[in-house]
Structure 1
Amino acid sequence: MRGALLVAGTTSDAGKSVVVAGICRMLARQGVRVAPFKAQNMSNNSVVTLDGGEIGRAQALQARACGLEPSVRFNPVLLKPGSDRRSQLVVRGTAIDTVGARDYFRHRTRLRELVADELASLRAEFDVVICEGAGSPAEINLRDTDLANMGLAQAARLPVLLVGDIDRGGVLAHLFGTVAILEPEDQQLISGFLINKFRGDVELLTPGLDRLTELTGRPTLGVLPYTDELWIDAEDSLGTVADAPVGRPRPPVGTDWLTVAAIRLPRISNSTDVEALACEPGVAVRWVTDPSRLADADLVVLPGSKSTVSDLEWLRRTGIAAALADRAKAGRPILGVCGGYQMLGRRILDRVESGAGAVAGLGLLDLDIEFAAAKTVCRNAGAAAGIPVRGYEIHHGRVLRSGDPSWLRLESGPEGSVREAIWGTHLHGLLESDDFRRAWLRQVAAAAGRTGFAVAEDVSVAGVRAAQLDLLADLIEKHVDTDRLTRLIESGAPDRLPTLTVGH
C-alpha cells in the first residue's frame, strides 16, 4: 500500500486531529509504514521532539499512533499565538520570528517550498502519509497564502477527506458549502465526507447523506459516533472552557475525592499538563476562571502561558491572584508549571515576550525570573525524592535567583522551587511519570487534609494514551468504509468530480 491523504475540516475543532490519529493507528496495526503530517499548525500546546525542536501536540500524538517518535518533520511550521494579532513563528522546531498576519506573508514563498520538500521526503520514506489540514479549506480570503489545506493538496495532488462536526449543527450545509465555495480546480480534490461526533440513530441521518451525495457527487465514507472517552492530548485550548471538567472522573480508591482547580488563563499554553492528574481515580479536575471556584479545591494548578506578563495581570484583575495569596497563607496546595511557575515568583524581568520590563510577580515563591531572547527547548530527566522523572521544557524565562529549595534534580541541574505546599517547575510532562505522580499526590492529599484519599497503583498515563489511540482506530474500522478509504489513499481523487456553483 502506498499513497497519501489530506484530512480537512469544515471548521476548526471539527475532529481532523483525532481522525488522522485514528487512521494512522489503524494502518500501523495493519503493518503499514505510516507517518502524519501537518504543514502548518497554530497551537500553544506543543511538545519537544527527539530531534530537539517543538511541534504541535496533536502531531506528537499522531506520531505515537504510527509507532514513531515525534519529529519536527511532521509539523514543519508552527504558529504560537501570544496575542490576538501576533504569533511566534516556529520553523522546523525552532522559533525564528514573531509575526502578524501581514508580515507573515514575507515568509510564505520559503515556507511553501519547505513544506513541499518535507512532505516529499516523508512520502519517499513511508508507505503512506496522512496529512491534516488547518482550520477550514473554505477560508478563501487566505487561499493565495495557504500552506496546509488546498494549497498543499494542489501542490502534492492529494485527495481530500472533508470532516464535519455534527455537534455544531448544520453539518450537511457545512459540507456542501465548503465544497461549493472553492474554485473548480480545488473542488476536484474534495473526494468524500466524514461525519464526526454523531449521537442517536444513524438511520435518521441517512436520507440527508444520500441527498448530499446526489447534490455533490461525493460519498460519505462514514459517521463516527460521539464518545466522551476521547479527551487526552487535546489539539489546542478550545476545549479548556471555564467550568469544564477534564476527562471522566472515576470513583476514588479510598473514601475521599481530591479536587483540582486548573486556572484557564487567556493565553494558556500546554494545558494538557493537568490531564495526567485526570487519569487518576478519585481526582476531579476542572478548568476555572472565577476566584470563588478556588475556595473548595484541594489543589490549584497554574499552567503555562504564551503571554506570562499579560496573564499575570489578568490574575490580578479577576481576583484570582488574591485568592491564591489566601491559599498560600493557609498552607493549601498550589502547583505552577512553566509560565505559572514564573508568575508565582517575586519578580519577572521581561524585555522579550511582552517588553514590559520589570514586573512584580505574585510573591508566593522567593524567585526572580528574566526572559532571555534564546528559547530553552529540550527534553530533560532526573529524580524527585529519589523517584525517576522526565519531561520537557519550552520557555524564554530563566531563573536569576531562588531563595527556595529546588525539588527536582535533573540532568541539567536543580529545577523548580518549593515552599511548604507550593510547588513550581519549568518541566512540562512531569506528572506523566507515574511513580512520581502517585507519591506527590499523597503529599498534596496530606496537605489538603484528605486523609481518606488513596492513589491507584496501576494507572499509566502512557497506557491511557495508547488505549485512546486504539479506541480511535476501532471507531475508524467499525464506522468508516475502509475499503473506499484505502482506494482513496492509493489512487487519489476520482476523475471528473462534479463542480458545484454558488447561486446568485
Structure 2
Amino acid sequence: MSGAAGGGLLVAGTTSDAGKSVVTAGICRWLVRQGVKVAPFKAQNMSLNSFVTREGAEIGRAQAMQAQACRVEPTAMMNPVLLKPGGEQSSQVVLLGKPVGELSARGYHGGRQQALLGTVLDCLAELRGTYDAVICEGAGSPAEINLRRTDIVNMGLARRARLPVLVVGDIDRGGVFASFFGTVALLSREDQELVAGFLVNKFRGDVSLLEPGLDMLHGLTGRRAYGVLPFRHGLGIDEEDGLRVSLRGTVRESVVAPPVGEDVLRVAVCAVPLMSNFTDVDALAAEPGVVVRFVDRPEELADADLVVIPGTRGTVRALEWLRERGLAEALVRRASDHRPILGICGGFQVLGEHIEDDVESRRGHVDGLGILPVRVRFAREKTLTRPVGEALGERVEGYEIHHGVAETAGGEAFLDGCRVGQTWGTHWHGSLESDGFRRAFLREVAAAAGRRFVPADGTSFAALREEQLDRLGDLIEQHADTDALWRLIESGAPQGLPFIPPGAPA
C-alpha cells in the first residue's frame, strides 16, 4: 500500500465508550504494518488519565497508546487540548501540553472552545503534512446537538478539515441500529455529507444473523458497514475516564493468570475521587498470580497483601473521602502493622504529615494521614517530567504530573519520595512498567505479606502492550473492509450520500 500525503479519517462513536480509542489504535497499527506512515490525533480530550511526552508536554494516555500503535513518539500536537476534570462543574485546560487555567463547562463551551479551533487545525495540518495518514478520534457522540455550535472535535473538525467520518457503535450494549440511524438523522445536511458509514464493535455470535439488519440500515441511510469487529476480552487499554472507573469501584477486577509460586498476591486499589492515571496498576495486573481490584470500604483492605492509593486530581478531596469511609483509619493501622502500602502521586501526598494547598482545592493547611515524614506544598506551576532512576537495585523509568511539591524529612529514599517500614511513596507514574523494578518490588511485598508468591521472570509489560496493539491491528485487518477503509482515508467520503431528514423513516 502506498500512502497519499495528507490522508485522514475521523473515528466517531454513537456514544462515549463505543470503542473509538481502540478502533483508532487498531486502524493505526494495521496501517503501519502496511508501510504507511501514520499518526493519531484527538483535537480535544477529557480525561484524568494522561502522559508526559519527551518534550515535557501532557497529553491523554489514549493518544500516547495510539502513537505507540503507530510506532512513533507521541507529541503535544496529537492531543492539542486536554481537559482534566476537577469536579462536576470545572476542568483544567491543558493547551499544547501545558496548563493554561481552569474553566467551567459553561465557560468553555460558551466561547473558549472556539478560540482553540485555530490551534487544533494548525496541529492537524502539520501532522497531515508530515504523515501519509492521520487517524483522528472524536469525543462522545457527533450528534450532541446542544454542543454542535462550538464543536471542535467531532463534526466541527470534520467539516473544517474535510475528513470522512466512520461511526463506531457498541452492539454489546444493544440498540446499535437505532444509534447508527439516529446519529446520522440528527446531523445537518453538510455534516451528513461526511459520514461515510458504520463500524460495528463488540459483536458476539454469528455475523450472518446481523447482515439483514446491516442491509436494512444501508437501505435507510445509503451508508454501508465497513466491518463487524468481534468481542474480545482485554482490549480496553488506557481508558480515558478515570471518573467512570472510580465509580465502577470494586466491579473492575483483573483476570489472573496462574501464579508461578504457591500463592497469589492480592492488590487493593483505593478508588479515590477524581482518580488519575489508574493505569499505573495495569503492570501489576499483567503479572501472573496478581489479583488487582478497586475498593471503597475498609473491610476490603483486610485480605489485601498490598494497598495502592493512586493518583488523583483532588488530593484534599481524596483525603476527606478516605476519612469519611473509614479507609484512612484502616490505612494508619495497616502502616503500624508493617503491611505494604504504595502511594503514587496524589496517593503519596495524602500519606504525608500535612498539605498546603492554595492551588487545587484552595483549602490552605490540611493534615495528611501522617504515615510518611513528608510535607506537601502545591505550586502553581505543574511539574511535567520523564525521570529515570534506580530503586531496589533496578533501573526505573517514569513520568511526573503534579502541582504538589514534596519535602521529605526522613525515611529511606525511594525514587523521588520515601519509604518508612512497608509504606512507600513516590510521584512517579509508570514506574511499575519497568519489569526488573516491578519484580523486585513484588518480592518485597510478598515477603512482608508472608506470601509464597514468585514474580514471573519472563513477564515484559512492553511486550504485552505490543501484543495487545497487534491484536487490535488484527481485528481491523481480519474483520473490516480494509480496501474500502483505505479509499476513505485517501479520497474522503463518497460523493452523493443521501440526506436523512430528522424523524425519517415514517
Q: Which category of TM-score, normalised to the shorter sequence, fits these structures?
A: over 0.9
Residues 402, 417 of structure 1: 8 Å contact kept: no
Q: Give the residue type in structure 1 aligned to 2:150.
A: T
> Is the aligned partner of 1:421 residue 2:422?
yes
> Is the aligned partner of 1:67 residue 2:74?
no
Q: Residue 169 of structure 2 corresponds to which residue in structure 1? A: 164
Cα offset, 1:109, TM superposition: 3.5
Q: Residue 497 of structure 2 corresponds to which residue in structure 1? A: 497
1:145 aligned to which of 146, 150, 158: 150
Q: Give the residue type in structure 1 aligned to 2:494.
A: P
Residues 231, 247 of structure 1: 8 Å contact kept: no
Structure 2 distance, partners of 1:108, 1:407, is 41
Q: Give the residue type in structure 2 aligned to 1:335.
A: L
Gaps of 5+ in 1: 409-414
SS at match of 2:387: strand
Structure 1 distance, partners of 2:222, 2:126, is 33
Q: Residue 91 of structure 1 corresponds to which residue in structure 2? A: 95
Structure 1 distance, partners of 2:146, 2:321, is 33
Q: Residue 31 of structure 2 corresponds to which residue in structure 1? A: 27
Q: Give the residue type in structure 1 aligned to 2:264.
A: W
> Is the aligned partner of 1:154 residue 2:155?
no
Q: Residue 211 of structure 2 corresponds to which residue in structure 1? A: 206
Q: Residue 393 of structure 2 corresponds to which residue in structure 1? A: 386
Over aligned residues, Cα RMSD in angstroms? 1.2
Structure 1 distance, partners of 2:307, 2:163, is 46
Cα offset, 1:102, TM superposition: 2.3
After superposition, where does 1:429-448 map in structure 2 within 5 Å?
A: 429-448=430-449
> Is the aligned partner of 1:343 residue 2:350?
yes
> Is the aligned partner of 1:118 residue 2:119?
no
Can you list the C-alpha shifts for 1:83-134, whole angstroms capped at 9, x where unaligned? 1011000000000111112222342343100001111111011000000001
Can you list the C-alpha shifts for 1:213-260, whole angstroms capped at 9, x where unaligned? 111110011111111131432233234522234442100001100000
Q: Residue 407 of structure 1 corresponds to which residue in structure 2? A: 414
1:5 aligned to which of 6, 9, 17: 9
Structure 1 distance, partners of 2:97, 2:335, is 37
Can you list the C-alpha shifts for 1:248-305, whole angstroms capped at 9, x where unaligned? 2100001100000111112000010000101100001011112221111111100000
Q: Give the residue type in structure 2 aligned to 1:341.
A: F
Structure 2 distance, partners of 1:325, 1:210, is 61
After superposition, where does 1:255-270 map in structure 2 within 5 Å?
A: 255-270=262-277
Q: Residue 78 of structure 1 corresponds to which residue in structure 2? A: 82
Can you list the C-alpha shifts for 1:70-95, whole angstroms capped at 9, x where unaligned? 11010000000011011000000000
Q: Residue 457 of structure 2 corresponds to which residue in structure 1? A: 457
What's the TM-score once normalised by structure 2's chain length? 0.96
Structure 2 distance, partners of 1:490, 1:354, is 48
Structure 2 distance, partners of 1:210, 1:178, is 17
Among all aligned residue pairs of Structure 1 and Structure 2, give the percentage whose two residues are the same amino acid.
Answer: 60
Structure 1 distance, partners of 2:93, 2:459, is 37
Cα offset, 1:51, TM superposition: 1.6
SS at match of 1:131: strand
Q: Does 222-231 or 208-217 show the bigger shift? A: 222-231
Cα offset, 1:169, TM superposition: 1.4
Structure 2 distance, partners of 1:167, 1:67, is 30
Cα offset, 1:400, TM superposition: 3.0
Q: Residue 230 of structure 1 corresponds to which residue in structure 2? A: 235
> Is the aligned partner of 1:253 residue 2:260?
yes
Structure 2 distance, partners of 1:377, 1:316, is 29
Q: Give the residue type in structure 2 aligned to 1:131.
A: C
Cα offset, 1:321, TM superposition: 1.1
1:47 aligned to which of 51, 75, 79: 51
**Segments ≥4 residues shifted beyond 4 Å:** none
Structure 2 distance, partners of 1:62, 1:24, is 7
Q: Residue 467 of structure 2 corresponds to which residue in structure 1? A: 467
Q: Give the residue type in structure 1 aligned to 2:488.
A: L
1:284 aligned to which of 285, 291, 295: 291
Q: Give the residue type in structure 2 aligned to 1:72.
A: A
Cα offset, 1:325, TM superposition: 1.6
Structure 2 distance, partners of 1:459, 1:386, is 18
Q: Does 222-231 or 345-354 show the bigger shift? A: 222-231
Residues 379, 393 of structure 1: 8 Å contact kept: yes
Cα offset, 1:181, TM superposition: 0.7
SS at match of 2:258: coil
Can you list the C-alpha shifts for 1:35-77, whole angstroms capped at 9, x where unaligned? 0000000001000001210100000000011111111010000
Q: Give the residue type in structure 2 aligned to 1:434.
A: D
Gaps of 5+ in 2: none
Residues 22, 236 of structure 2: 8 Å contact kept: no
Structure 2 distance, partners of 1:256, 1:245, is 21
1:217 aligned to which of 213, 222, 229: 222
Q: Residue 476 of structure 1 corresponds to which residue in structure 2? A: 476
2:369 aligned to which of 346, 362, 378: 362
Cα offset, 1:402, TM superposition: 2.6
User: Paired residues, what number?
Assistant: 497
After superposition, where does 1:187-202 map in structure 2 within 5 Å?
A: 187-202=192-207
Structure 1 distance, partners of 2:299, 2:172, is 31
What's the TM-score once normalised by structure 1's chain length? 0.97
Residues 121, 161 of structure 2: 8 Å contact kept: yes
SS at match of 1:406: strand
Q: Residue 486 of structure 2 corresponds to which residue in structure 1? A: 486
SS at match of 2:141: coil
Residues 14, 179 of structure 2: 8 Å contact kept: yes
Structure 1 distance, partners of 2:236, 2:289, is 17
2:134 aligned to which of 118, 129, 132: 129
Q: Give the residue type in structure 2 aligned to 1:193.
A: F
Residues 11, 136 of structure 1: 8 Å contact kept: yes
Residues 159, 191 of structure 2: 8 Å contact kept: yes
Structure 2 distance, partners of 1:114, 1:343, is 37
Q: Does 368-377 or 239-248 show the bigger shift? A: 239-248
Residues 232, 247 of structure 1: 8 Å contact kept: no
Q: Give the residue type in structure 1 aligned to 2:419.
A: V
Cα offset, 1:149, TM superposition: 0.2
**Structure 1 residues 454 and 401, CA gap change in structure 2 (3 angstroms):** closer
After superposition, where does 1:97-112 map in structure 2 within 5 Å?
A: 97-104=101-108, 105-112=110-117
Q: Does 44-53 or 284-293 show the bigger shift? A: 284-293
> Is the aligned partner of 1:36 residue 2:40?
yes
